[in-house]
Structure 1
Amino acid sequence: MADGSHPFIASRRGVLAGGGLLLSFTVAGKAGAAEAGGAGGALNAYVRVAPDNLVTIVAKNPEVGQGIKTMLPMLIAEELDVDWDSVRTEQALNDPTVYGRQFAGGSMATPLHWDELRRVGAAARVMLIAAAAQGWGVPASECTTASGVVHHAGSKRKATYGALAGKAAGVPVPDLKTVPLKDPKDYKIIGHAKRQVDTAAIVTGKPLFGIDVTVPGMLYATYEKAPVFAAKVAGADLAAAKAVKGVRDAFVVEGGTVLDGLLPGVAVVADSWWAARKGRDQLNTRWADHPTAKQSSAAFAAQAVELSKAAPQKTERNDGDVAAALKGASKTVEAAYAYPFISHANLEPQNCTAHFKDGKIEIWAPTQNPEPGRQLVAKTLGVAPEAITIHMIRGGGGFGRRLMNDYMVEAVWISKQVGAPVKLLWTREDDMRHDFYRPAGWHFLKGGVNAAGDIVGWHDHFVTLGENGVAARSAGMGATEFPARFLTNYRYDLSMMAAGIPTGPLRAPGSNAIAFVVQSFIDELAHAAGADPVAFRLKLLGDKPMVGDPPSGYAAGRMAAVVKLAAEKSGWGRKLPKGSGLGIAFHYSHLGYFAEVVEVAVAPDGAVKLVKVWVAADVGRHVINPFGALNQVEGSVLDGLSGALHQKITIENGAAVEGNFGDYQLMRINEAPPIETHFIKSDNSPTGLGEPALPPIIPALCNAIFAATGKRIRQLPVDTALLKSV
């Protein structure tokens, strides 16, 4: 997932080259034109128009199932003014000198590229019009385009883009800042549902994913690491592994201590992956002692309780006088909330194919963040970054796990050792027990309401993982997290405890846990006040359209609108059967405003049936690909429900206990509820959809369970045994 930076800053110039039109712009490139076979072929172009009118558009960012290989080219194709049926897409190589930072994370693809890539398409259209106008001796202003054809109404002449592409190479490149863009009412691609460009290949089983890569002379590898993270190899039966038929080599890798780098382990390389796996079974690896072996989930939880009773290590925010407000409240509520480590559980385990030869490295990897992978490999192996080529291969799920590139550096190290191209493939157990987990966390809350039903005080003592005042990766919470700034008396204290457990961003990092706590506790306060949960939330949001200043302002009006819409569509307030309930929650993350309602039916034995989910969203004035948007919203909802109901990684003796889908359950299809999604088209720039639909679903579920049973869920995953009524 992404930080708040804007890594993609393109120049405003383009390049023409080749036998057709080839348009690109670079971070620090120079504008110019190149003839066929010239320098333009070395620039990673966005657009190629062939003489037969076929348009190829390059997708710059990694594709991990979020549909970016379809959505980004749609932006270019719209302004280029071609029919989508005539467009083919290609995945770009990782090339930061041309594309800037290429990554999949943080739902940032839309906000970072909405303007820039539309202007790329518009620039190409301007060049093609100019070429036609010059040839016909007419003003360019009299020419129009449609479906890949330039028209001049006065002379009734027309020419296809393919026919004009060669001439367009001599046209001065327009400044991207000044090219005219379409009126949205004329959009024929943006806002129209398009299937993912790889769908046909996926459903027919064509090789697309990292796990499918093959290169000539390739060997297969496994890499065994210690159950306790970063523990060194104390010994291994390498000879026994080498004796297995098909095994070419087995060796110890010293590795280091950085959890997202090359860790110690034992590699087995063979003619087939199965032979490598069988060789690994013979290793009988012994591991050195490591301090993390003393850590466990139970110990973290016990330590969190002790820390909550002591003075906080830091106070992150302290508005008003919370202690006095709580003392004067009509009713107060105290609650302790907790959530566990969870795994990304990508359907495709981590893998990478690499070839180290003559000081140069070629990599084929399903990575979300290729450039940091390049730098990691370069630093670890002592090669220049320019000597590394990275092919961004489609990933079978990412969700933040593939922002780290530990598997990439492992594959390269093994390839260098054996002197051949190597495909490294992790087992499912490797993947789950060597993840960068969503960090566990503990919140100790006190809140109060007055006789009018207003929240008069809120105190959260958050205990998380971290050291020296710095939270572990994805383990923190910002000082402006809702309901900060909405309450006169608000205090957020923070305490940390050291951990040797690798953590990292998981879909909607931070928010996927914080929303559960905040929106559940708001629900508790609503019930303490005797207020309707929807009305209570709208009152809390207030009548100010914006709270705080940009860019960190909170658009309260936008949030109130989605809360009202979700309540309306779900029939909030209707009578439900005994054992059924509706729950609502909202959350702002990744620039998206979402409110969601869940209906559940809880059986006497505690079993939870998900009846239906309603989603209301505001992600700006345009939904670029409605098919992709629904996929992302529905996938996020199911992902969040799956985690809330089933998922937990337990740390014992410094290692992850769960290792496969038998003990780390994912939601089954018979559990999945129908999902009804509604978008509000607000007058705001469009934003991303990969993550913001996930956070509200977890508290909405838990609040619905409370409405159905009167039993409050304060710890995840949901323990259905506590919901039994018989």
Structure 2
Amino acid sequence: MKNFIPVFKDKNKASEDRSKIFVASRRDFLKIGSLATGGFLLGVNFQCSGPKGEVVTFAPNVYISFDSDNQVTLIAHRSEMGTGIRTSLPMIMADELGADWSKIKIVQAEGDEDKYGNQNTDGSFSVRMFFEPMRKAGATARHMLIQAAAAKWGVDPSECYTENSEVHLKESRKKVTFGDLVQDLLVMPLPDPAAVKSKELSEYKLIGTDVAIYDAKDIATGKAVFGADVDLPNMQIAMIARSPVVGAKIISYNDAKALAVPGVNQVVKIEGAGIPPGLDKPLEGLAVLASNTWAAKKGREALEIEWDLGPNQDYNSTAQLEAMAKS
């Protein structure tokens, strides 16, 4: 690993581009690794090779790799929540790269904030936050592929373009697969960011079209693994008892009957953070932790809670809607 583009996560989700490529020493790498906590490395030149005859893989950044068998692999670093984000972000890279979408392999990233930055999948923000970084990741890889092919053919890079996981020479039948360029790419440095140009929007062939969800067949046939399918050793299930009124506080509670339910291990109070609630300001409640879902459910039903319903106890949604309609 020698070339890095550290892009530090903007906690305010600003769109400012602060990427930079430079040749880093080992000492620089260690320093970057410590500073990049909460950020992600947009370009890490992982050059992987093996003995002759073995498949060789080249990864110009943490999101893209292609091997000598012409397999293009894209990393989905956000979680699929039913919105198709595991398809959308890789599709941006594939379109910019000029890869054959029908042969793309998508791999779900491990949870690694140092490597990928913000991996929270919420707020319908994934495409807005990562459209440009995904374009740049794909454009960097495409730039390198074109440079390698142009050097092989002795032509100007402007005479080349990518399509279907191949580099083509304009007005010619000459072409070369991404895989056949891997060995050439292994000795290439990452390019100057100023030299990397993204495609015009009019050049995209996937973005804006009706592309099937990558995992649609696995989801429909039950092969896909969801969070609810995960069963870890000593894992507990939590169910939370909350007030029907936003902003309520617990005056007192008795958890004796809940703890008597077989399988219930603990009852934990969640301190509310006031009004309005938010992702970082939870509603007050009691969490029942149990060894299985049924026990957690029955334990929650057995809780005895006295609530101070607070300022919203007289809230009436019908009256609210009528008032809004008049305003």
TM-based fold match above 0.5 = yes
Query: Are 1:68 and 2:99 matched, yes or no?
Result: no
| Residues 104 and 130 (structure 1), Cα distance of their counterparts in 2 relative to 1, 3 Å cut | same
SS at 2:288 equivalent: strand
The one-character-per-residue Cα deviations of 1:289-332 (angstroms, maximum 9, x if unpaired) are 5343243346x54xxxxxxxxxxxxxxxxxxxxxxxxxxxxxxx
Query: Are 1:290 and 2:310 matched, yes or no?
Result: yes
Give the drift of 1:56.
2.1
| Residues 216 and 164 (structure 1), Cα distance of their counterparts in 2 relative to 1, 3 Å cut | farther
The one-character-per-residue Cα deviations of 1:143-202 (angstroms, maximum 9, x if unpaired) are 443321234689987543224235324323234454344466654433443101121122
Contact 1:143 1:151 in 2 (8 A): yes
The residue that corresponds to 1:48 in the other structure is 65
Contact 2:76 2:90 in 1 (8 A): yes
Number of residue pairs aligned between Structure 1 and Structure 2? 289
Alignment of 1:51-200 (within 5 A): 51-92=68-109, 93=111, 95=113, 98-99=116-117, 104-105=122-123, 109=127, 116-134=133-151, 139-151=156-168, 158-182=175-199, 187-200=204-217
Query: Are 1:442 and 2:309 matched, yes or no?
Result: no
SS at 2:265 equivalent: strand
The one-character-per-residue Cα deviations of 1:9-42 (angstroms, maximum 9, x if unpaired) are 44455699xxxxxxxxx978686645449xxx9x
The residue that corresponds to 1:214 in the other structure is 231
Greater displacement, 145-154 / 268-277: 145-154
| Residues 15 and 137 (structure 1), Cα distance of their counterparts in 2 relative to 1, 3 Å cut | farther
Give the drift of 1:104.
4.8
Give the drift of 1:442.
1.3
Query: Are 1:202 and 2:202 matched, yes or no?
Result: no
The one-character-per-residue Cα deviations of 1:534-565 (angstroms, maximum 9, x if unpaired) are xxxxxxxxxxxxxxxxxxxxxxxxxxxxxxxx
Give the drift of 1:60.
4.8
Contact 1:132 1:150 in 2 (8 A): yes
- Partner Cα separation in structure 2 for residue 63 and residue 30 of structure 1: 21
The structure with the largest alpha-carbon Rg is 1
| Residues 232 and 127 (structure 1), Cα distance of their counterparts in 2 relative to 1, 3 Å cut | same
Query: Are 1:257 and 2:139 matched, yes or no?
Result: no
Contact 1:76 1:117 in 2 (8 A): yes
One of 246, 254, 267 as aligned partner of 2:287: 267
One of 225, 250, 257 as aligned partner of 1:233: 250
- Partner Cα separation in structure 1 for residue 120 and residue 300 of structure 2: 35
Please report the RMSD computed on the Cα atoms of aligned residues, expressed in angstroms.
4.0
- Partner Cα separation in structure 2 for residue 249 and residue 12 of structure 1: 47
Query: Are 1:7 and 2:14 matched, yes or no?
Result: yes
The one-character-per-residue Cα deviations of 1:553-586 (angstroms, maximum 9, x if unpaired) are xxxxxxxxxxxxxxxxxxxxxxxxxxxxxxxxxx
SS at 1:150 equivalent: strand
Question: Could you tell me the TM-score, scaled by structure 1's length?
Answer: 0.34
| Residues 49 and 121 (structure 1), Cα distance of their counterparts in 2 relative to 1, 3 Å cut | same
Letter paired with 1:46: Y
SS at 1:236 equivalent: strand
Letter paired with 1:268: V
- Partner Cα separation in structure 1 for residue 297 and residue 41 of structure 2: 47
- Partner Cα separation in structure 2 for residue 256 and residue 234 of structure 1: 15
- Partner Cα separation in structure 1 for residue 190 and residue 241 of structure 2: 53
- Partner Cα separation in structure 1 for residue 119 and residue 14 of structure 2: 5
Give the drift of 1:226.
2.3
Question: Could you tell me the TM-score, scaled by structure 2's length?
Answer: 0.69
Give the drift of 1:218.
0.8
- Partner Cα separation in structure 1 for residue 290 and residue 40 of structure 2: 44
SS at 1:285 equivalent: strand
Letter paired with 1:442: M
| Residues 286 and 78 (structure 1), Cα distance of their counterparts in 2 relative to 1, 3 Å cut | same
- Partner Cα separation in structure 1 for residue 271 and residue 200 of structure 2: 60
- Partner Cα separation in structure 2 for residue 172 and residue 44 of structure 1: 12
The residue that corresponds to 2:8 in the other structure is none
SS at 2:74 equivalent: strand
Contact 1:79 1:181 in 2 (8 A): yes
Contact 2:78 2:126 in 1 (8 A): no
- Partner Cα separation in structure 1 for residue 64 and residue 42 of structure 2: 17
The residue that corresponds to 1:277 in the other structure is 297
- Partner Cα separation in structure 2 for residue 106 and residue 32 of structure 1: 27
Give the drift of 1:86.
1.6
Letter paired with 1:248: N
- Partner Cα separation in structure 2 for residue 94 and residue 287 of structure 1: 40
Alignment of 1:460-471 (within 5 A): 462=327
SS at 1:190 equivalent: coil
Letter paired with 1:235: S
- Partner Cα separation in structure 2 for residue 256 and residue 104 of structure 1: 20
The one-character-per-residue Cα deviations of 1:48-69 (angstroms, maximum 9, x if unpaired) are 2233222222345554333232
Among all aligned residue pairs of Structure 1 and Structure 2, give the percentage whose two residues are the same amino acid: 33
Letter paired with 1:264: E
| Residues 59 and 256 (structure 1), Cα distance of their counterparts in 2 relative to 1, 3 Å cut | same
Q: Which segments of 5 or more consecutive residues in structure 2 lack a partner in the other structure?
A: 1-11, 24-37, 50-57
Give the drift of 1:94.
7.0
SS at 2:313 equivalent: helix
- Partner Cα separation in structure 2 for residue 114 and residue 130 of structure 1: 24
The residue that corresponds to 1:579 in the other structure is none
| Residues 173 and 274 (structure 1), Cα distance of their counterparts in 2 relative to 1, 3 Å cut | same
Contact 1:80 1:122 in 2 (8 A): yes
| Residues 207 and 235 (structure 1), Cα distance of their counterparts in 2 relative to 1, 3 Å cut | farther
| Residues 288 and 217 (structure 1), Cα distance of their counterparts in 2 relative to 1, 3 Å cut | same
Give the drift of 1:106.
6.0
